[in-house]
Structure 1
Amino acid sequence: MARMVWNKAELARLLDSQSGPVGRDLAVKGERVAAEQKRLAPVSPDGSHGRPPGYMRDHIHSELGRDAAGLHVDVGTDATTPDGHPYPLDVEFPTRPHKIRSKGNYPLRDPKSGRVFGYEVDHPGTEAQPFLRPSLDVLRREV
């Protein structure tokens, strides 16, 4: 009769360690998805939400981590408007029509032309420009 003894430390290093093969594979896949998000992310030539052009794309990252459930990789963007709103969600999903109000004692205006709109405007909403969810297709093509 054969007896098998598991080396628990080595098994943990192989399967649950960030430096093991599973952790390294997750990190590589996270970087591939992040690169695809950067490729797909729309960039406004004028910037948006008070941020410079490419701000959302430049804040896409991949981070390998570990929690109670095990290893995971977080991929995405932490870009926000100056008041803290996660505006990449407004890019990924459509927005409804909404009002935009001046945040001071000055009217809203077009930064290019200087055209004055007033202290409040009715924004028509935006169409979705998905780039987060479609970025996962880069992994699906590998299978």
Structure 2
Amino acid sequence: MARYFDTRATARIDTRAYERGLRRWLGRMSDDVKRAVERTGTDVQNEARRLAPVDTGRLRSSIVARQTGGGRRVGYEVGTNVTYAAAVEYGTAPHVIVPKNRKALYWPGAAHPVAKVNHPGTAARPFLRPAVEKTSFFFRFHMAGIRGGR
């Protein structure tokens, strides 16, 4: 009776060099993706600045982007520390303005001091939300640049 597999051939494959190359390649891709996320954050920041209404320029100049996370979990935040930014972004409802430290309100051009003012509210002038909505467009653009060699 013949026995199969009496003669065996074995081969060893040293995968260490392959693994090192793969790690290098993945590391490079990871750096490229991090760079794409960083550029996306900058693009969203610039778009928010472009869309921000300008009176004195304080709101526009306060818009910043910063990277969050680390390792393979990176992201970005775009925002501002100006106290009235939410009122500009979302608008305000009609409200009453009363004095805080005095008995009456007065401003240049007013006929006389008043005890309160009925403010009609302000319309929303979104600048952050429309900019953030373009995130996927900016990110796809930068990722295409990686694949295209840019």
Instruction: State if a TM-score over 0.5 links the two structures.
Output: yes
Aligned residue-pair number = 124
Is 1:90 matched with 2:104? no
- For residues 80 and 106 of structure 2, the distance between their equivalents in structure 1, rounded to whole angstroms, comes to 28
Is 1:130 matched with 2:126? yes
- For residues 43 and 34 of structure 1, the distance between their equivalents in structure 2, rounded to whole angstroms, comes to 15
User: TM-score, normalised to structure 2's length?
Assistant: 0.66
Report the residue type matching 2:97 in the other structure: I
Q: Deviations over 1:5-63 (max 9, x none)?
A: 37768746753xxxx2222111111111111111110122xxxxxxxx11111110011
- For residues 68 and 108 of structure 1, the distance between their equivalents in structure 2, rounded to whole angstroms, comes to 54
Task: Return 5+ residue gaps in structure 2 as ranges.
Answer: 1-11, 142-150
- Runs of 4+ in structure 1 off by over 4 angstroms are 1-4, 6-14, 114-117
**Residue 77 of structure 1, aligned match among 77, 80, 95:** 80
The answer to whether the 8 Å contact 1:32/1:138 transfers is no
Aligned to 1:121: 117
The answer to whether the 8 Å contact 1:107/1:116 transfers is no
Which of structures 1 and 2 has the larger relative contact order (alpha carbons within 8 angstroms, sep 6+)? 2
User: TM-score, normalised to structure 1's length?
Assistant: 0.68
Q: CA deviation at 1:116?
A: 4.3
Q: Pairwise CA RMSD of aligned residues?
A: 3.0
Q: Deviations over 1:75-110 (max 9, x none)?
A: 121112xxxxxx211111121111112121153233
**Residue 33 of structure 1, aligned match among 20, 44, 48:** 44
Report the residue type matching 2:77 in the other structure: D
Percentage identity across aligned positions?
A: 32
Q: CA deviation at 1:65?
A: 2.0
- For residues 26 and 107 of structure 1, the distance between their equivalents in structure 2, rounded to whole angstroms, comes to 51
Structure number with larger C-alpha Rg = 2
- For residues 117 and 69 of structure 1, the distance between their equivalents in structure 2, rounded to whole angstroms, comes to 60
Aligned to 1:84: none
Aligned to 1:56: 59
Higher share in helix: 2
- For residues 132 and 100 of structure 1, the distance between their equivalents in structure 2, rounded to whole angstroms, comes to 27
Report the residue type matching 1:59 in the other structure: S
